[in-house]
Amino acid sequence: MAEKVLMKGNEALAEAAIRAGCRFFFGYPITPQNELLEYMARHLPEVGGTFLQSESEIGAINMVFGAACAGVRVMTSSSGPGISLKQEGVSYIAGSELPAVIVNIMRTGPGLGGIAPTQSDYFQATKGGGHGDYRLMVLAPASVQEMVDLTALAFEKADEYRNPVLILGDGVLGQMMEPVVLPEPSPEKTVEKPWATTGKGDNEKAKLITSLYIKPEEAECFCDHLRAKYSAMEERETRFECYRTDDAEIIAVAYGTAARLCMAAVDMVREKGIRVGLIRPITLFPFPSAPLREAAEGGAWFLTVELSTGQMVEDVRLAVGGRQPVDFYGRSGGMVPDPRVIAARLEELAEKKANAETAQPNEGGAA
């Protein structure tokens, strides 16, 4: 039976991973994700799993690479500066088509930054980060419950697409406690992995996992193959949530912690009878462009809210394609916006839109 417990985000994510069949974890300490590592150290051995604290993030991600080659469910977690170090390995994992789950509980940057929550690694998460022509599936939970649910999904999708999946959280989600329903432990999923390098056994042919394509023709062919895989993800895996958007004139766009703040702001503004709503991307790659485009075609204006100086707003603008205005509000460095300020920005935008609409018909007539 599913149980409801009060858990810290980082620990809930770790428990969800174990329940999803993750039996190998390699990591290196960094705040604000240490509870995740520590939880794995305590609980993985209880289920016969392996926890290893590596010498560095580079070591950790390459251990993940090796374990993924062996066909097991494996995870690592870190925060900004550590994820930067992992990018080399992430590129190799993507280039070798291996399933692995990577967690980034974001802290501030650039550089050493601070341990307060931000969303400043959006570009790094969704636009590569490592070298080469690859994409990660990026999942953005907005609650402790979603950290649990999306972790199970992450392992499933990593295996399905043979691609690394990144869970992008932040210090708020990692540190806060909420009641969660934990899923039943899924008996070690027997996903067939005929490609895994487990020794050739009686097979004629040895297996090889590589990302080296010396001939440009072959390299291009491989990149085309990856592109087809990412297109399939775009078609089948795009996830988002719409909140009070049915009749919305103004739509906030935000993910993770910022989305929670926006939800509160939307409620405040709605109380005044102003029609605002929220679109919350759950997958940052594939990015939910279609609902944004449709809302723009329906005439809505947008306010992107991020805990950064503006990163996802570029994807929102691409989706909206200049059809309607896209405004931005963000705080960075670990400062968390007050929902009342977001509400004021939404109201302001609603007023601007109303003015623009009443001004428009006159423009022609006055000439």
Interface positions with other proteins (CB under 8 A): 24, 26, 50, 52, 54-56, 58-60, 62-72, 74, 88-89, 92, 96, 197-202, 206-212
C-alpha to C-alpha distance for 129 and 222, rounded to whole angstroms: 20
In terms of CB distance, is 51 or 301 closer to other proteins?
51
Strand segments (E) across 238-365: 240-243, 250-253, 276-281, 283-285, 301-306, 326-330
How is residue 185 annotated by DSSP?
A: P
Name residue 13's amino acid: L
**Largest Cα–Cα separation, the chain:** 85
Of 141, 125, 12, nearest to 79 by C-alpha is 125
C-alpha to C-alpha distance for 334 and 331, rounded to whole angstroms: 8
In terms of CB distance, is 44 or 319 closer to other proteins?
44
Q: Shortest approach of other proteins to residue 59 CB, angstroms?
A: 5
Q: Shortest approach of other proteins to residue 40 CB, angstroms?
A: 14
In terms of CB distance, is 64 or 150 closer to other proteins?
64
Q: Shortest approach of other proteins to residue 115 CB, angstroms?
A: 25
Q: Shortest approach of other proteins to residue 295 CB, angstroms?
A: 42
Q: Shortest approach of other proteins to residue 94 CB, angstroms?
A: 12
In terms of CB distance, is 182 or 191 closer to other proteins?
191
In terms of CB distance, is 4 or 131 closer to other proteins?
131
Please state the separation of Cα 298 from the chain's center in Å.
28
**Does residue 27 contact residue 53 with C-beta atoms inside 8 Å?**
yes
Q: Shortest approach of other proteins to residue 192 CB, angstroms?
A: 16
In terms of CB distance, is 198 or 355 closer to other proteins?
198
Of 338, 326, 153, 139, nearest to 258 by C-alpha is 338
Name residue 41's amino acid: A
Q: How far is CA 204 from CA 192, 199, 324, in A?
A: 19, 11, 60
